[in-house]
Chains A and B, each alone.
Chain A
Amino acid sequence: MNTPAPTRRALVAVAALAVAGLVLTGCTAEPDAPATGKPVVGGTLTYASGDAEPDCLDPHVGGNYPQALTGTQFLESLVSRDTTGTIIPWLASEWSESDDGLAWEFTLRDDVYFSDGSPFDAAAVQANIAHLQDPATGSSTGYLALQKVTGTEAVSATVVRLTLAEPDSALLESLSQPWLAMESPEGLARGMEENCAAPVGTGPFVIKDWVKQDAITFVRNDTYDSPPADAGHEGPAYLEKIVWRFIPESASRYAALQAGEVDVIDNAQPDTIVQADKGDSIQHLDAPRPGAANRIELNSGTGPFTDPKVREAFIRSANVDDGVASLFQGTAKRSSSALSSAEALGVSRPKLFEYDPKAAGKLLDSAGWSETDADGYRTRDGKRLTVRFPVSTNQSIPAEQSLFEQIQATAKETGFDVKITPMDLSSWYGALGSGDYDAVSAPYTKVGPDVLRILYHSDGITPAPSGYFANHAQVNDPTLDELLTEAGRESDAGKRKALYTEAQDRILEGFYVLPLYDQQNHYLLGADVEGARALPTVSTPTFYDAWLSR
C-alpha cells in the first residue's frame, strides 16, 4: 500500500514517572466474572470487530484504532502500562533519562526473537524508529509521538539511546502504544506492500493468513515468552488460534455472540450492553479509551464559527444531556471536559455547556444573526446560518449519529440549520482536508493531557505526512500554543498541572468544542471466555492470558 490511512486516534503519555502516583485508575477494567479454574490450552477464539478492516496491518503506516486492535495480537512495544498508570517493562527491561532530559537509554531483553527468527536488539529498535520517521512510511500517530526524537544510537546490542531536541515527559507513554510497536527489520525491508499484508512481530500470536473482507487468522507463537510485566502467566498463549472477523452490522455482531458463533465482539451498542448486563450469559468489559473525550469541534478558522458568540450560541442550543441519557441508557456519562474522565488532569466545566436556548438566541442577536427566515432559521445579510457537519459513518456508532440528529433538531429551535452529511472515511477525510466543514466529531485516543497539544496547538493545523491534521477546531491562539509547549516540557507535577488547567480553561471558555462523553469502548464476551483483558495502554483487548472454559 502506498498511502496511509490517516490517523484518527493516537495516544501519548502522561508524563509518566512524574505523575505516576496520581493517575489513572479508570482506564481499564476486568470482565465481570473473574477467571476461575485451571486454564485450558488450545481452542479457537472468534472475535467479531465492528471497526473498519485495516488497509494495512502495520500500525506504523497511518496509525488508527483498527490497526491497534489487530496489532495488539501480534506486536509488542518497548514498554507497557499497568492499571495504576505506572510504566512497566515489556521488550525493554529498564530505562533511564539523562539529567537534562535530552537523552534516554533503554536496556532491551536479550532473549527475544521475532517470529521470522531474527533477533530483537538495539539495531531493530533503530530500524523501527527510522521507519516511523521516514515520510515514505506515511505514519501519522507514531510520527507525531516521536516528533522530539532526533537520533538513535546502538550503545551495545542490548542498549539503545534516543536523543531528543527538547525534554519529553510523555516519551515512555508514547512508546507504550501499539502504533509504535517493534517489527522485524527484515520484515520492514520487504517493502510496504508485503509488510502491510503480514507484519512480523514478537507477539504471542502470528498472522497465518488474511482473507480480505472476511477474516484474519492468528495462530499461537509457540516459542513466545516476552509478556509485559503485568501479564497473568509466562510462556506461549493458551489459545491455539484467533479468528478475527469483520462484521460491520452491530445487530449481526451481537446476535452472533448470543448464538455462540463468535466469542468476543467490540463496539457493542448501548441497548445490547444493557441486555447483556441483565443476564449472565454474556460478560461486559468496559474500557473507555484515554485521551480526548468525544466532542464536536467547531471550526473557528472559517464560516459562522469564527465568531465566538456564534460558537457559544451553538453549544447553548444543543440539548445533549437528554440525548445521552436516552441513547446510551446509562452506559455513558455526559462530559464537560476536553479530556477523557481517565485523565487526572482533566478540567470539567459543566456550567459552560448547559442547554440554554434563550441565551443562545440572545447571543445570535448580538452576533448579527438576528433575522429569521420562513423556515425558522436565523439569517444575516440574507444568508442562512448553516452549519456543515460531515459525519464519518465508520467512526460514529449509530447511537452517536442519532445524538447528532438530536442536536440538529434542538439547534434548529434556536435557528441553526445543521446539515449532517454521512460519509465514508475517505470522503470524510477529504471534506476535512479541503476545509468543507463547520462542525466535526473525530475521536482521538492518546494518554495524558499532552493530547491537548496535538489537538489544539496551531501546529496541528498543518497536516502530518499522512495528510491528516488534528486541530479540527483550527484553534490559532499564540497564548494557548505557549501554554501547551511549556506544559509538554515541564517535569514538575504542580507546575504542569497549573499549565494544563490554564490551557483547558482557554479551550473550554473559547467554546471551541462541545464535549459529549468519554470515548466508548465496550467489549462483550461469551461466558466461557476467561482471562481476557484490555491492555491499560489504549484499551485494546489482549488474548494472551485468555482461554476457553468449554
Chain B
Amino acid sequence: MSDLELQAELGLGARRQGATRRPRRIAVAEGLAGAVALFLVLSAVMPQLVAPGDPLAIDPLQAFQPPSLPHWFGTDESGRDLYTRVVHGTGNSLLIGVLATTIGLGLGVLLGTLAGMLGGFVDFTVNRVLEVLFAFPGLLLALLVILIYGPGVATATIAVGLSTAPGYARIIRAQLVQVRSSAFVEAATVQGLTPRRILARHILPNTLAPLLVLATLGVGQAIVWATALSYLGLGAQPPAAEWGAMLSAGRTYITSAWWMSFFPGLFIVLTAVTATTLGRAIERRMRHA
C-alpha cells in the first residue's frame, strides 16, 4: 500500500463513520482548513498582496532578528525577512506539489484506466509493473530518479511524481473494476448501450469524482516529500525561497535562531493538514451529494 492509498482508505473510513449522519453544516476544522487553503492559494498566486517585500532583498545589518513587529517571523542570516520569504515560497512549494501530483496522477490514470478497462493481458501486465514499482517503497524511487538525473527542482518534482504514480494507478484500477461490475453498469449493458456510452455516461463520472479527492490529498503528500528532498539538499537550492531549502538553511543556526527553521516547517505542516482535512471533507460531501 502507498501513502496515497492509505490516505484514500482513511477518507473512506471517515465516510463510513459519518454514513449514519449527514454532515449538516461545515465543521469548524473544515472551515479553518478552507480559510488556510484560501490564504495559501492567495500567497501562491499574488504573493505581493500578502507580503509586499522582496524575498531576496538582503540587509546584512538586520541579520538574525527574532520575530518582531517589523519582521513577523524574524530575519535570516542575510537579513532577509522570513515572513516575506515563507509567503513567496508558497508559490514554489505549491507549484512543485501540484506539478508532482499532476505527473503522478496523470501516469496513474493512464495505467489504472488501461488495466481497469481493458482487463485481461493488459491488466495482468500493468499489475506486474505496479508490483515492481511498489518494491521501491517511500522515497526510494525518488532517490533513484535523482541518482540518474542529478539533484534539482525539476528532478525532485518528477521524482516525487513518479514515485506516487503506482499508488494512484492501483486506486484508480480498483475503482474502475468496482464501478464496471456494479449493478447499474451491468444494467446498462443489458439495455444494449454501446461500451463508449457506458464509459462516458456511467463509468467516468463515478471514477472521476474520487480523483478530485485523491488530488487534494496527494498535493499535501507531494509537498511534504518535495520539501524533504530539498531539506536533504537534493531539491531546490538556496537562496530560492522554497520551504524545504529555507528549513535546511535554518538548521545551521538552530541553536541561536530557532525561527529560521520553525516558520517554514510550520507552513509545510499547515499545508499537509489542510490538504488532508479538505480532501476528506470533499469526499464526505460527494458521497452525500
Contacts and interface: CB of A to CB of B under 8 A. Distances in A.
A398 B255 contact: no
Given A405-B238, A406-B58, A399 B77 contact: yes
A409 B255 contact: no
Interface string A388-407: 00000100001101100110
A409 B238 contact: no
A251 B60 contact: no
Interface string B228-271: 00000100011100000000010111111100000000000000
Contact of A323 (B60, B238, B239, B252): B60
A77 interface: no
A271 B253 contact: yes
A265 to B, nearest CB: 12
B78 A405 contact: yes
Q: DSSP majority for the A interface?
A: helix
Counting chain B CB atoms within 10 Å of each CB, the highest count among A254, A393, A398 belongs to: A398
A275 B256 contact: yes
A381 interface: no
Nearest to A322: B60
B99 interface: no
A240 B77 CA distance: 41
Contacts of B239: 405, 408-409, 420
Given A326-B60, A326-B61, A327-B60, A406 B78 contact: yes
B63 interface: yes
Interface string B63-81: 1100000000000011100
Interface string A350-392: 0000000000000000000000000000000000000000000
A7 interface: no
Nearest to A407: B58
A266 to B, nearest CB: 15
Nearest to A399: B77
Contacts of B61: 322, 325-326
A147 interface: no
Nearest to A404: B239
A466 B249 CA distance: 33
B253 A325 contact: no
Interface in A421-453: 421-422
A111 interface: no
B133 interface: no
A249 to B, nearest CB: 7
A401 B60 contact: no
Nearest to B150: A427
A415 to B, nearest CB: 16
A255 B253 CA distance: 11
Contacts of B253: 251, 269, 271
A254 B255 contact: yes
Contact of B79 (A271, A326, A420): A326
Given A402-B77, A405-B78, A405-B239, A393 B233 contact: yes
A401 B238 contact: yes
Contacts of B78: 323, 326-327, 402, 405-406, 409
Interface string B41-69: 00000000000000011101101100000
Contact of B255 (A272, A326, A401, A422): A272
Given A326-B79, A405-B78, A409-B78, A255 B255 contact: yes
A408 B253 CA distance: 21
Nearest to A255: B255
Given A405-B78, A409-B56, A251 B238 contact: no
Given A327-B63, A406-B78, A251 B58 contact: no
A335 interface: no
A274 B63 CA distance: 15
Given A249-B251, A251-B252, A410-B58, A271 B63 contact: no
Nearest to A319: B60
B238 A271 contact: no
A271 B60 contact: no
Contact of B252 (A269, A325, A410): A269
A422 to B, nearest CB: 5
B80 to A, nearest CB: 9
A325 B256 CA distance: 17
Interface string B89-104: 0000000000000000
A205 B213 CA distance: 63
A401 B249 CA distance: 10
Nearest to A397: B252
B77 A251 contact: no
Contact of A250 (B57, B233, B237, B252): B252
B255 A251 contact: yes
A401 B77 CA distance: 11
Nearest to A251: B254
* The 10 A-B residue pairs with the shortest CB-CB distance in the complex, in nearest-first order: A322-B60, A326-B60, A326-B63, A271-B256, A398-B252, A251-B254, A405-B239, A409-B58, A402-B77, A323-B60
Interface of A: 249-251, 254-255, 258, 269, 271-272, 274-275, 319, 322-323, 325-327, 393, 398-399, 401-402, 405-406, 408-410, 420-422
Given A271-B64, A271-B255, A405-B239, 14 more contacts: A255-B254, A269-B252, A271-B256, A325-B60, A326-B78, A398-B77, A398-B249, A398-B252, A399-B252, A401-B238, A405-B58, A409-B56, A409-B78, A422-B237
17 contacts: A249-B251, A251-B255, A254-B255, A255-B254, A258-B255, A269-B253, A271-B256, A272-B255, A272-B256, A325-B60, A326-B63, A327-B78, A393-B233, A398-B77, A402-B249, A406-B58, A408-B239
Interface of B: 56-58, 60-61, 63-64, 77-79, 233, 237-239, 249, 251-257
